[in-house]
């Protein structure tokens, strides 16, 4: 599904290149659950952003479902996100002025899904996440865990083939964090959604099937997780 070849990312500052990513080459297959780990400043988030086409690599080749992303124009790239990628953020990043239901509906609006189908899909997902009663609340009326659930619901509603999650449990208490990770695992196993998450937590990483260890922009280790649970 994803092929990265020799991805490099650096910022030139006063002639000095500071590298974020160096020679990153890897591939992620459909249905994998990958965790990207590493200390602060290792380039995890940058790698995730490049996967999500939010940032462009300085150098290197990136193929997403057989398409060369680097050469795509903005409109095509937007097409790709809309149809295949769902984002989940550490800070949830819900739109404060929208209700829960509206936040979930927004990606469908951009995808130009017809009204009746929108309604049923939003209702469906609210039901699945047990949030029907909260559908008219605004984000600041919810707890962090609930907000992150909305964030995931929003990522899922467009039926993406891959979810990119940047420390999805970073702002949550451990009980809520477990709940989120269980949800990811379930989505991965039951619906075959590819998941790539950035995390600091070994516990969270254990939910996945594979761990990429990043250090100073270089992939140090690429291990397959033995399912213990």
Partner 1 sequence: MFKLNLKIAFRNLLKHKIASLINISGLAIGLAASLMLLLYVQYQWSYDKQFGNSENIYHLMVNFYGADKSITGTTPQVSNVLPLVLKEERPEIENISRVLWASRRLVANGQNSFKVEGRYADPDLLRIFKFDYLSGNPNKAFDDPNSIVLTEATAKRLFGSTDVLNKTVRFENQANLKVTAVIRDLPPNFTYGFECLTPWKLYENLNVWPAKQNWDNNSYFTLLTLKNGADPNAFNQKIKNTIARNMATKTLEAAPFVYPLEKYHLYGHFTNGVADGGQIEQVRIFIILALGILAIACINFMNLSTARSQKRAKEVGIRKTIGASRASLVMQFLLESFILTIVSVIIAVVLVEIFLPAFNGLLNTKLQISYASTGNWFAVTGLILFTGLIAGSYPAFFLSSFNPVQALKKTVTFKGNFSLSFRQVLVIIQFGFAIVLIVATLILYQQLQYLKNRPLGYDTNALVEMPHEGNLYPKFDLFKDRLLNSGAVTSITQSSGSIAFQNSNTSGLEWQGMAEDDKKMSFDLIQTTFDFLKTNNIRLISGRDFSKNFASDSSALMLNETAVERMGLKNPLGQRVLFNGKQRPVVGVFADVLWDEPTRRLRPMAIVFNAENSDVITMRLNTTRSIRENIDQITKITKELNPDFPVEIRFVDNLVAEKFEHEQMLSVISNLFAGLSIFVSCLGLFGLSAFSAEQRTKEIGVRKVLGASITGIISLLSVSFVKTVLIAIVLAMPIGYLIMDNWLMQFDYHISIGPVVFILTGISSILIALFTVSWQAYRAAKANPVDALKYE
- Measured CA to CA, the distance from residue 146 to residue 172 in angstroms comes to 10
Outline where 12-53 has alpha helix (H): 44-51
CA atoms within 13 A on the CB side of 119: 2
Residue number, 54 or 72, with CB nearest to partner 1 = 54
Least distance (Å) from partner 1 to the CB of residue 166? 9
CA distances from 163 to 17, 39, 133, 141, 187 (A): 31, 22, 26, 26, 10
Burial classification of residue 151, based on how many CB atoms lie within 10 Å of its CB (0-12 exposed, 13-18 middle, 19 or more buried): buried
Residue number, 157 or 211, with CB nearest to partner 1 = 157
Least distance (Å) from partner 1 to the CB of residue 82? 4
Least distance (Å) from partner 1 to the CB of residue 92? 9
Least distance (Å) from partner 1 to the CB of residue 32? 22
E strand spans, 45-155: 59-64, 67-68, 85-88
Residue number, 95 or 203, with CB nearest to partner 1 = 95
Contact between 25 and 82 under an 8 Å Cβ cutoff? The reply is: no
Q: Catalog residues that contact partner 1 under the rule CB under 8 A.
A: 49, 52, 54-55, 74-75, 78, 81-82, 87, 89, 91, 93-98, 102, 105-107, 109-111, 154, 158
Least distance (Å) from partner 1 to the CB of residue 131? 18
Residue number, 62 or 207, with CB nearest to partner 1 = 62
- Measured CA to CA, the distance from residue 106 to residue 98 in angstroms comes to 9
Residue number, 74 or 190, with CB nearest to partner 1 = 74
């Amino acid at each position: 599904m994803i092929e990265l070849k020799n991805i490099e990312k650096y910022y030139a500052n006063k002639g000095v290149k500071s590298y974020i990513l160096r020679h990153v080459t890897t591939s992620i297959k459909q249905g994998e659950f990958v965790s990207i780990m590493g200390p602060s400043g290792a380039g995890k988030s940058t790698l995730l952003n490049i996967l999500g086409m939010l940032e462009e690599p300085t150098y290197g080749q990136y193929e997403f479902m057989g398409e060369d992303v680097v050469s795509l124009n903005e409109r095509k790239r937007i097409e790709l996100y809309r149809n295949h990628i769902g984002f989940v953020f550490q800070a949830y990043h819900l739109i404060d002025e929208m209700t829960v239901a509206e936040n979930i509906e927004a990606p469908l609006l951009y995808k130009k899904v017809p009204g009746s189908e929108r309604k049923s899909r939003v209702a469906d997902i609210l039901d699945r996440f047990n949030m029907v009663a909260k559908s008219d609340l605004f984000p600041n009326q919810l707890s962090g865990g609930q907000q992150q659930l909305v964030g995931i619901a929003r990522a899922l509603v467009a039926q993406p083939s891959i979810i990119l999650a940047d420390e999805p449990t970073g702002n949550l208490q451990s009980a809520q964090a477990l709940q989120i990770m269980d949800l990811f695992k379930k989505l991965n196993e039951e619906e075959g959604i590819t998941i790539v998450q950035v995390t600091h937590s070994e516990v969270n990483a254990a939910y996945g099937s594979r761990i990429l260890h990043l250090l100073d922009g270089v992939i140090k280790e690429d291990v397959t997780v033995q399912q213990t649970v």
